[in-house]
Amino acid sequence: MSGTAPLSIKEELHSNSPALDMSSKLFNKQNSALSTTILIRSELSSSSSSLNDSGQQLVNKRVVNSCLWSTVIFSINFVSSILVINLAKWIYVKHHFPNLTLTTINFFVTFFLLLGCLQAKLFTYAKLPIFSMLPVSACFGGFIAFSNLSLQYNTVGTYQLIKLQVTPTVMIISWLFFKAHYSLPIVISFIPVFIGTLISTYYDLQLNVFGLFCALISVIFTAFYQILVEYYQKAYNCDSLQLLFYQAPLSGLILLFFLPFFEPISDLSKFMTYDMMFLILLCGVVAFFVNFSIFWVIGNLSAVAYNMIGHSKTLLIIFIGSFIFHEPLNQRQIFGLCFTMLGVFLYSYFKYIRKPSK
């Protein structure tokens, strides 16, 4: 029979070996590529996990640092607000240091410390028109000067309670001149504030008519100052510290002009002692910390928290001042104080917690 004989199995495998070798090599390459891909993915996953862990640690570190910084600033504001009032009262009552002179010194101390903060880049400089700053600086100087006169001639309790009339005064001015409207609960909440202050002031055994006059003038100056600050910040696109950088020296210069007419400079020589100069400088530094920290507190705390802190400071200032300066509160004054604080808490509730729907 003609034809070719069939190949044996060995010969057939031998003849197909190039194809098998090619398939084997291709399979090995695919396995190698797959292994490499798995290895890369594993490394990427490990790297991503490591990055996530480091990122989370960085976030946690920032949160902790922010909380620590917040606690420090809040503590500075709380302590300095209480300390500056009692320290200034001590300088007036125990050492009879001239009121306007201390106020003027505090303005210039604040300005020089703000210069240091500017160099440390704690806030940025804003170029503002100096002559336009005169109205707000005059109100700032008037409100601080008359507040200090009120503190000098009134008890700490009367001084603090009359200060609470600033908010309703701002509301009245805004309603008269800017057509602002307020809800009925907010308006009603100031009835106990006014009545409580009236009761406590009337039964103050150390009530001083001149001190009461200064307190009322300071309320008017403070109300206009707060309205002007809000207007200036919007008009010139600046924050409170940038505004204070102009206000402090201008207010100091304005008071410096009136100083010789009310407080003869020749009387200052008797206060040139190291202890007295230390107290005056300390008062200026503490006043600066109050001004500096309050802007941070307002910007970083909720309105409710800020107001509750303010109310607790009011009560502490009254009771500490009553103890230090031997200004005991009688039962009627305590009732007036409690009635006033009831109105203040009601205002905070209706203003910030139970906001009227728009």
pLDDT digits 0-9 by tens, 142-188: 999 999 999 989 988 889 888 888 888 888 988 888 888 888 888 89
Distance CA 168, CA 41 (A): 67
CA-to-CA dists, residue 44 to 35, 305, 355, angstroms: 14, 46, 51
Give pLDDT, residue 50.
60
Mean pLDDT of the chain: 80
Asked if pLDDT for residue 79 goes beyond 80, the answer is yes
**Cβ contact 92:151 at 8 Å:** yes
| pLDDT single digits (tens) 244-256 | 999 999 999 999 9
Is 350 within the bounds of a domain? no
Q: What is the reported pTM? A: 0.75
Q: Residue range 283-294: average pLDDT?
A: 88
Among the ranges 10-24, 123-137, 174-188, which has the highest mean pLDDT value? 123-137
Residue 18 lies in a domain: no
User: What local confidence, expressed as pLDDT, does residue 224 receive?
Assistant: 92
On the CB side of 326, how many CA atoms lie within 13 Å of its CA? 2
DSSP of 65-115: HHHHHHHHHHHHHHHHHHHHHHHHHHHHHHH---HHHHHHHHHHHHHHHHH
Parent domain of 264 = 79-184+208-301
Cβ neighbours of residue 340 closer than 8 Å, sequence gap 6 or more:
161, 164, 192, 193, 196, 197, 200
Q: What is the spatial distance between Cα 280 and Cα 106, in angstroms, rounded to a whole number? A: 8
> Which residues contact residue 143 at a Cβ distance below 8 angstroms, ignoring those fewer than 6 apart?
218, 221, 222, 225
Cα end-to-end span (Å), the chain: 109
161 belongs to a structural domain: yes
56-66 pLDDT per residue, tens: 666 566 666 66
Indicate whether 314 belongs to any domain.
no
Q: How confident is the model at residue 208 (pLDDT cuts 50, 70, 90)?
A: confident
Average pLDDT over residues 111-132: 92
Q: How many domains does the chain have?
A: 1
Per-residue pLDDT, 30? 52
Is residue 144 situated within a structural domain? yes
Q: Decide if 34 is inside a domain.
A: no
Residue 241 has pLDDT above 70, yes or no: yes
State mean pLDDT over 121-137: 91
Residue 62: inside a domain: no
Instruction: Give the residue-averaged pLDDT of 34-53.
Output: 57
In-domain check, residue 146: yes
Q: What percent of the chain has pLDDT over 90?
A: 28
Res 102: pLDDT: 92
Tokens 């000098």 sit on residue? 152
In the structure, what pLDDT confidence band is assigned to residue 295 with cuts at 50, 70 and 90? low
132 vs 327, more confident: 132
